[in-house]
Structure 1
């Protein structure tokens, strides 16, 4: 079958409903930013007064959304794109999409492992303890050197108070240093999560701008971007950063909101030449989707699922009702996002 019959060539994106297509970047920008910013602002603002159960719902719902996005909205399309009949037979002899996703998973794991070993060694040199499965700054407990000198038992109260003050000063300095290191680690984690989501959002925008089934896809993507934004925002809201880094979650949420409209605008600009089913487009989007799926699979299963449930003492020792509520929220988010995969 020729390339023309398969629609493998460049150009020829749909141009129907052009006025709505032109307005779609603004509409989706509002929905995306609203979904991503709401959890961040709700966590910081007292005037919103969001009940804790509602915020917890958003957090666990968001974990489910991210996991479903990885498998249904990234890995599955990557398999289809890299298995397109427009590609040469060499692409059909090996599951490249799965291999690239696997490569992405192990790359993120190795980077995090090296960073963790380096950070642990640094904390050990500072006589500080670190909880490997903790969350945020609170997972690090600073303590002073524990000497065995019995002469300390004979010190006067004044000497003890003087020593305690010096120890407190040392511990405070160590905590400040560790907060900066911990903040850097969390910011890197946010960047990794954002990278996977952002690539996906740009590709969605490009596809929407030229897809012939625009109306159906447009409605689905509005919900898709809102839910995905809620998932990302709920994770951004719970990271613990020093005051000087308070802007990071807001910038990350705004960046997420801008990516799909940018993709739509780019798609509209090249609608006469860009074909999402072309050979080059299939390869580029397939590779990026596969790599992004690995990022979100690792983040969703390890950083979110495992840390929120298996390694979270509050969840392990909490009531059955609390555990059931958290699981229900997560499964609901996963189910809704998986259902949207029926259309987009």
Structure 2
């Protein structure tokens, strides 16, 4: 065996160490204390060496090769902060993205992802890139998109950087690379969002949706115009079927009683629908609209309930003064009719004395038969409250995005069917209203939601459900309609049938059926409130 000179052996060792350092430098490495960890081919960090052993080995090799012209350079640590201290200048931060409420960016031209900023509010907008990075007396700054200097504290100290990076790895980077994080973790965040439309405004709950950047600008959505035009006729058909159904049933089965079991089922189901519509649908919509971040902070927290109370009071005023006016007009007509009758009798008596004598001593008392005017007024008020919010339903259904349009349309169809049954059963029960008036009342309900949908189609490219003025108008009308339907539902329908009406002394069978129908109306309409 040929002996190898000591100087040649040292040179070979130096070349081997340099090659090893080149391999290490191409990997993602970092120090934890005195231990250096590098990322292997599986994306896991493994211990490679310690600072002490590396220094000792380098010193020994240098001592044994004094004559060698080769010098040993410490392998650079590829963490962003360490890179800045050993000669790799960071010029920008790119690839910025959110993980929970922490923003992470990748230093350029090279480096490992670092935590840059924390989002303090869901409305706060963080830059997607930072440029012109520079050092000021040991503190690192980069320029954001607005041209302002932003302190990047993660680049100030090595230990702080490593702590932030390790914490970030604990959220999903231990077994996945940067590419996997962006492709997988963000998909999970998107899947965790539960977004749906209330009154045409998209609301997201659950997951990280509350941390999404809030914007009051008009959203850029896809709208299929043909589908929306077709849905208009679907709603028109179902609304007509529901509201005209009770009228047709009453007309065909002329002997059917409005207090019978069949009509009671429809009426009490409708009562439950109206109560649930007021509380679950309209008040929920109004609260969500007034609670929108685009509305700003309300100085009066009871705005929704105050407007609803005003709606109930308005319904009361209409019924009270309307009833008095009708009674006054009826009294005038009866007084005029009585005067004419007396004049006719006087003339008749003067021409026929025998008849006059025969009628002496007869009583002149008479019984006033009061028409059910109060029922007429209550149905008119009920229809007014329904029409107010039905036109809003039509507008806001159409302006909802294609992503949730079909589900919303199905819910609205059932919503209109239930309300149509509720209104139709009350219209059919009216006894002092002509058939033409009943048809006009039912037709108004059948057409009002499609009319709203037509308006929505017309403003499809301009409507912004997050605009402050729009939120105020929609919230106010929803609250007002809720108050009107509360009055009609509680006073005229619920109490009118159960406390003051025929169900007060109904038998066990009829009472059970009526109560079950009432609860079914509340429950079914309440369930629909999850989506509309």
* TM-score, structure 1 normalization: 0.78
Cα distance in 1, alignment partners of residues 329 and 441 from structure 2: 28
Give the superposition deviation at 1:68. 0.6
* More helix as a share of residues: 1
- Alignment partner of 2:293: what SS? coil
Report deviation, 1:62: 0.6
Structure 1 residue 241 corresponds to structure 2 residue 448 = no
Contact 2:378 2:492 in 1 (8 A): no
Q: Alpha-carbon deviations, 1:200-237, whole Å to 9, x = none?
A: 11111111111121011011111111111111111111
Larger Rg: 2
Q: Does 1:339 align with 2:527?
A: yes
In 1: Cα distance, 2:459 partner to 2:289 partner: 20
Matched residue SS, 1:325: helix
Find the residue that maps to 2:530 and give its secondary structure. coil
Contact 2:319 2:377 in 1 (8 A): no
Alignment of 1:48-59 (within 5 A): 52-59=260-267
Residue number in structure 2 paired with 1:80: 288
Q: How many residues align?
A: 301
**Matched ranges for 1:280-319 at <5 A:** 280-312=469-501, 314-319=502-507
In structure 2, relative to structure 1, the CA distance for the partners of 1:265 and 1:127 (3 Å cut) is closer
RMSD of Structure 2 on Structure 1 (CA): 3.2
TM-aligned CA deviation for residue 241 of structure 1: 1.1
Q: Which residue matches 1:277?
A: 466
Q: Once the two structures are superposed, what CA deviation does each residue of 1:91-115 show, in whole Å capped at 9, x if it has no partner?
A: 2542211100011112322443444
Output the CA distance in 1 between the equivalents of 2:257 and 2:245. Answer: 10
Aligned 8 A contact 1:31 1:226 in 2: yes
Partner of residue 322 from structure 1, selected from 510, 513, 523: 510
2:226 corresponds, among 6, 19, 43, to 19
Where does residue 116 of structure 2 map in the other structure? Answer: none
- Check 1:13–1:204 CA distance in 2 against 1; reply closer, same or farther (3 A cut): farther
Moved more, 26-35 or 72-81: 72-81
- Is the aligned partner of 1:224 residue 2:415? yes
Tell me which residue corresponds to 1:136.
none
Contact 1:7 1:278 in 2 (8 A): no
CA contact 1:14–1:210 (8 Å) conserved in 2: no
Q: Which residue of 1 aligns with 2:400?
A: 211
Change beyond 3 A, Cα 1:270–1:56: same
Which residue in 2 is equivalent to 1:152? none
Structure number with greater CO (CA < 8 Å, separation at least 6) is 1
| Unmatched runs of 5 consecutive residues or more in structure 2 | 1-122, 126-211, 336-354
TM-score (normalised: structure 2): 0.51
| 1:164-199 Cα shifts (integer Å, max 9, x gaps) | 6x65xx65xx54xx54xx54x544332211111111
| Stretch moving more, 45-54 or 34-43 | 45-54
Match of 1:63 in 2: 271
Structure-2 change in CA distance of 1:310 and 1:283 (3 Å): same
SS at match of 1:241: coil
- 1:138 — aligned with what? none
Q: Which moved more, 1:294-303 or 1:219-228?
A: 219-228
Structure 1: runs of 5 or more not aligned: 129-155
Q: 1:5 to 1:340 in 2, by over 3 A?
A: same
- Find the residue that maps to 2:294 and give its secondary structure: coil
1:44-68 per-position Cα deviation (integer Å, ceiling 9, x unaligned) = 2238989943322111111111111
Alignment of 1:172-183 (within 5 A): 175=369, 178-179=370-371, 182-183=372-373
Tell me which residue corresponds to 1:202. 391
